[in-house]
């Protein structure tokens, strides 16, 4: 290990050890940073019988800063171990941040592919000059300690028509070969995704470029490409989309294109479909867990106009809940993973006609069935669903968040995961979702329902989070 890496890991560990979360709004069923800033989830995988989540992490500044890779692991997706920082900006090719990437599990260990960010001092636009977006491989034999890093690709190794904005590698194995997709921005400011192929995961060749017939934004961040029920899906986070409307109301979009044909050769992209219609959903990443594909995203938005008051308490942002993907009618549906039900405690069932008001626990799983139009108010948030659409409005505690809309079709059911500062709405078994951070002044929540139907409210306990050093110490004692 180089000296800088050792020093940075010690400093991050010291920052985490000295931080004592104070104040309201620390989530119970959504992973948040131990201290400082969190954004994109990275390297999702199940390695040696344990789930791993890495994430963009700035441990020294809740407002952001140079990025590390933070790390949680779990055996069951509800009890977590906070692990030491895995990746640090400690090499000339990643000195200004270890940016987003993915994990590849192989028999001999865990291979982490990511973008190494370098920005030069000077008068640069940082698009055509002044930066490096390097593709880097890091290896860990045990999934906890880093063994080595290797620089794989520099900007000169990408197609010449691309700007310096090439990043966020997602790697997988298929048909005896390794494939990598990266988000890109062309010299003409059109978004694209680059496809690379490799025999061994080390030497890579660019083989194709995915793009729309007409430019859809100037950059596609955090691409993900996978097959589900025979349909190929390309998830991207487009920046610079001019079209507006439901699902395109945020500063940057997040969604997917159905892909027909072969991503390695001739292909066709369908229409762009938003993944989530709320305020706070970006940089999703998926992985295959046996026979199901799971997704988790950053519960935030780059360059958003709204703010998060937890900065004053030394931390900012969280991840969404884990969601299981399904394909229904050619569209992706997302619903919370079944494991969350193990956190259920007390259950209450209510029938309502016209109006019902109930007090809620601090963390709740609310499952509502209804026969059409429905309106609700929940401590500063309202959702009104009628005539095939829904409007989510934050009245109080939104810190700049206002209204987002979604097309829902006829409303049959609604599920709400309400945490202390994170709320997720799933409409019609996950056909539509709306995610938001919100910060109610009173943590004693009240729910008012207008319409007719039934509501089941499950009180939930928080996920258990243990520090890695404590688990090692406990093992030694036994």
Annotated catalytic residue 168: no
- Annotated catalytic residue, options 40, 90, 280, 419: 40
CA 326, distance to chain mean position in Å, is: 17
Beta-bridge mates of residue 286: 295
> How many whole angstroms separate alpha carbon 235 and alpha carbon 43?
16
> How many whole angstroms separate alpha carbon 446 and alpha carbon 436?
17
Q: Which residues are catalytic?
A: 40
């Amino acid at each position: 290990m180089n000296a800088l890496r050792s020093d940075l890991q010690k400093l991050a560990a010291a920052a985490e050890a000295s931080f004592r979360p104070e104040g309201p709004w620390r989530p119970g069923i959504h992973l948040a940073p131990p201290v400082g800033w969190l954004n994109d989830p990275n390297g999702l995988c199940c390695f040696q019988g344990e789930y791993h989540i890495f994430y963009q992490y700035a441990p020294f500044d809740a407002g952001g800063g140079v990025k590390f890779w933070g790390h949680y692991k779990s055996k069951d997706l509800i009890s977590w171990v906070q692990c030491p920082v895995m990746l640090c900006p400690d090499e000339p090719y990643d000195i200004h941040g270890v940016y987003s990437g993915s994990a590849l599990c192989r028999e001999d260990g865990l291979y982490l592919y990511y973008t190494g960010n370098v920005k030069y001092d000077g008068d640069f636009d940082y698009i055509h000059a002044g930066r490096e977006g390097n593709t880097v491989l890091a290896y860990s034999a045990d999934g906890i300690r880093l063994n080595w890093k290797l620089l794989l690709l520099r900007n000169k190794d990408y197609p010449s028509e691309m700007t310096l904005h090439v990043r966020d590698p997602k790697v997988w194995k298929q048909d005896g070969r390794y494939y990598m997709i990266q988000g890109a921005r062309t010299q003409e400011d059109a978004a694209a995704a680059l496809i690379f192929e490799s025999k061994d995961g080390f030497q890579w060749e660019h083989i194709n470029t995915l793009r729309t017939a007409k430019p859809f934004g100037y950059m596609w961040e955090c691409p993900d490409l996978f097959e589900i029920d025979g349909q190929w899906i390309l998830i991207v986070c487009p920046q610079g989309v001019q079209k507006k409307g439901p699902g395109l109301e945020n500063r940057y979009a997040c969604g997917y294109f159905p892909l027909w044909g072969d991503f390695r050769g001739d292909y066709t992209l369908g229409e762009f479909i938003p993944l989530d219609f709320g305020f706070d959903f970006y940089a999703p990443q998926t992985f295959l867990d046996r026979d199901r594909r799971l997704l988790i995203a950053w519960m935030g938005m780059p360059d958003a106009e709204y703010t998060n008051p937890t900065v004053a308490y030394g931390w900012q942002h969280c991840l969404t809940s884990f969601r299981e993907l399904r394909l229904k009618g050619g569209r992706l549906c997302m619903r919370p993973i079944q494991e969350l039900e193990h956190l259920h405690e007390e259950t209450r069932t209510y029938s309502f006609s016209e109006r019902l008001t109930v007090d809620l626990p601090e963390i709740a799983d609310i499952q509502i069935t209804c026969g059409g139009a429905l309106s609700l108010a929940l401590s500063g948030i309202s959702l009104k669903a009628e005539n095939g659409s829904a409007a989510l409005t934050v009245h109080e505690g939104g810190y700049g968040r206002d209204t987002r809309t979604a097309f829902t079709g006829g409303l049959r059911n609604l599920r709400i995961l309400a945490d202390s500062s994170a709320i997720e709405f799933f409409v019609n078994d996950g056909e539509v979702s709306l995610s938001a951070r919100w910060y109610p002044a009173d943590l004693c929540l009240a729910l008012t329902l207008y319409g007719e139907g039934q509501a089941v409210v499950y009180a939930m306990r928080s996920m258990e989070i243990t520090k890695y050093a404590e688990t090692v110490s406990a093992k030694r004692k036994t």
